[in-house]
Amino acid sequence: MSLRQTQGSNIVMRRQNHSSTVEFILLGFSNYPELQDQMFGTFLVIYLVTVMGNAIIITIIFLDQSLHIPMYLFLQNLSLVDLCFSTVITPKMLVVLTSKKATISFGGCFAQMYFILFFGVTECFLLGAMAYDRFAAICHPLSYPMIMNKRVFMKLVMFSWVSGTMMSTLQTTWVFSFPYCDHKEINHLFCETPPVLELACADTFLFEVYAFTGTIFIVMVPFLLILLSYTRILFTILRIPSTTGRQKAFSTCASHLTSVTLFYGTASIIYLQPKSRYSPDTKKLMSLAYILLTPLLNPLIYSLRNKEMKRAVLKLWQRKVAFHTA
């Protein structure tokens, strides 16, 4: 057989192998079958509480006109992102925990990875925008209505969502442009970029450089904005003469700071660590902290620590009771 014929047959074989990968197998925690039932029950409860908590915040802010200000409208967008983010991942993860051989189609894996990146990037920039809003409100209270007017608010929200769309489209398309041959087993609970990329039978070095650089940009740019905003906020608060005024200013920032710590702490551990540092099972557990805890705790943080939110909930509850007793 000639060299040209050999090369041609190799190309055909690679195309056949690539086309044969129509689905992937999600391994999940298959090494620990005795724990999967407990995990299923725990994750189901967490998911239901997450959906209910975020849906309540979205609904309350929508119904209460007094909350139609940038601070709460940013929170409404954050709750929508957390609700969608959790819904993209958790239902399929519950299926993985109850199946001996959980599969996901090539297209389904693409869609899940796309929306994980989309909502993750959007949340990064939303948290940065929320920090800027707090900076403007505390450091420039007199000019705050002009600094954070409706037009500026809409630009920041649109920038967050559009950034998520652009980054997820580029990265997901690139990941699934690699040939995957006969490798089908994803050692993870869902289609996250690193475990899927391990199955590619091609040189992914250039993509890995791009992904690491892009992750640093996506994580660090909003984080630096948050850090700068809160540095200015801290100096402003310390100059407030009254203790009551300082406590009130701190309380308006506490919820957002807690969310930032949760989100950036877990995300940086997962995406900015060397490949070989942790075992696959450890990486799965860290991913669970990222995709379960943040969407779950955000509604609790903002509702329990925020007097206006509690007031709005109480008002809507009283209105509902009055309607049923009338």
Model pLDDT, residue 269? 67
Judged against a pLDDT cut of 60, whether residue 11 lies above it is answered with no
pLDDT band at 208 (very low <50, low <70, confident <90, very high): confident
This prediction's pTM:
0.85
From CA 260, how far away is CA 206, in angstroms rounded? 30
Judged against a pLDDT cut of 60, whether residue 17 lies above it is answered with no
Lowest mean pLDDT among 16-20, 68-72, 206-210: 16-20
Question: Exposure of 32 by Cβ count < 10 A (0-12 exposed, 13-18 middle, 19+ buried)?
Answer: exposed
Task: Label residues 312-323 b or e (16+ Cβ within 10 Å = b).
Answer: bbeeeeeeeeee
pLDDT digits (tens, 9 = 90+) for 52-84: 999 989 998 998 888 899 989 999 999 999 999
pLDDT band at 152 (very low <50, low <70, confident <90, very high): very high
Give the mean pLDDT of 288-294: 82
pLDDT band at 8 (very low <50, low <70, confident <90, very high): very low
Judged against a pLDDT cut of 90, whether residue 156 lies above it is answered with yes
From CA 145, how far away is CA 49, in angstroms rounded? 35
What's the distance, CA 151 to chain centroid? 25
With a pLDDT cut of 90, the percent of the chain lying above it is: 36
The secondary structure of 5-21 as a DSSP string is: HHHHHHHHHHHHHHHH-
Give the mean pLDDT of 206-214: 85
pLDDT band at 271 (very low <50, low <70, confident <90, very high): low
Strand runs labelled E in the chain: 23-26, 102-105, 185-186
From CA 140, how far away is CA 147, in angstroms rounded? 9
Model pLDDT, residue 253? 75
Give the mean pLDDT of 295-300: 83
How does the average pLDDT of the chain come out, rounded? 83
Judged against a pLDDT cut of 60, whether residue 4 lies above it is answered with no
